[in-house]
Chains A and B, each alone.
Chain A
Amino acid sequence: MQLGGCEVSVKPAAAGNRRKLKFTTELTLLIAYVAMIIAFSILSPYFLSIRNFMNIGLSASITGITATGMTLVLLMGGLDLSVGSIIALVGIIMAVLMKGGTSVPAVVLVGLVVGLISGLINGLFITKVKINPLITTLSTMAIYRGITFVSTDGLSVLISNKSFSFFGRSFILGIPVAVIIMLILYVFFAYLLRYTKFGRKVYAVGGNPEASRLSGINVDRIRLMAYTISGLTAAVSGIILASQTGTGLPNAGTGMELNAIAAAILGGTSLAGGKGNIAGTLLGVLILSTLSNGLTLLNVPSFYQMIAQGAVLLIAVTLDVIRGGGYK
Chain B
Amino acid sequence: MDQELCLEMKEITKRFPGVLALDRVDLDLRRGEILALLGENGAGKSTLLKILAGAYQKDEGSICIDGKQYEFATPKEASEAGVTVIYQELNYLPDLTVAENIFLGRQPTKGPLGRIDWDKMNREASEILVLMGVSVSPKTLMSNLSVAEKQLVEIAKALSKNMKILVMDEPTAALNDAEVTKLFEIVRGMKEKGISIIYISHRLEELFEISDRVMIMRDGRRIGVVDTAATTKDELVTMMVGRQIDEMFPKKYLESGETLLEVRNLTNRTKVKGVSLTLKKKEILGIFGLMGAGRTSLADTLFGAEPLTGGEILIEGKKLNLHNSRDAIEAGIALVPSERKTAGLILGMSVKENITIATISELGKGMGINLRAEADKAQRWVIELNIKTPSIHTVAESLSGGNQQKVVLAKWLEAKPKLLILNEPTRGIDVGAKVEIYNLMETFCEQGLGILMISSELPEILALADRILVMSEGRITGEFTREEATQEKLMKCAVGGM
Binding site for B on A (CB under 8 A): 1-19, 195-198, 200-201, 203-204, 207-208, 210-218, 274-275
Contacts and interface: CB of A to CB of B under 8 A. Distances in A.
Given A5-B219, A6-B433, A197 B369 contact: yes
Contacts of B47: 10
Given A6-B433, A13-B398, A19-B393, A200 B16 contact: no
B17 interface: yes
Contacts of A4: 386, 388, 402, 432-433, 435-436
A215 B411 contact: yes
B481 to A, nearest CB: 29
A8 B343 contact: no
4 residue pairs, one from A and one from B, having the closest CB atoms: A16-B394, A14-B398, A10-B21, A9-B400
Contacts of B432: 3-6
Nearest to A218: B326
Given A6-B402, A6-B403, A197 B360 contact: yes
Interface string B333-351: 0010100001111111110
B42 A10 contact: yes
A211 B345 contact: yes
A208 B345 contact: yes
Given A16-B390, A196-B369, A215 B433 contact: no
A157 B367 CA distance: 41
A2 B21 CA distance: 20
Interface of B: 14, 16-19, 21, 40-42, 44, 47, 56, 218-220, 241-243, 303, 305, 324-326, 328-329, 335, 337, 342-350, 353, 357-358, 360-361, 363-364, 367-369, 371, 386, 388-391, 393-395, 397-403, 411, 429-430, 432-433, 435-436, 439
B343 A210 contact: yes
Contacts of A18: 348, 350, 395
Contacts of A10: 14, 16, 19, 21, 42, 44, 47, 220
Given A8-B400, A9-B398, A215-B411, 15 more contacts: A3-B435, A6-B41, A7-B42, A8-B42, A8-B389, A10-B21, A13-B398, A16-B389, A203-B349, A207-B348, A208-B342, A212-B357, A216-B328, A216-B358, A218-B326
A53 to B, nearest CB: 34
A210 B328 CA distance: 16
B16 A15 contact: yes
A137 to B, nearest CB: 24
A4 B402 CA distance: 9
Contacts of A14: 16-17, 19, 394, 398-399
B393 to A, nearest CB: 6
B397 A13 contact: yes
B41 A9 contact: yes
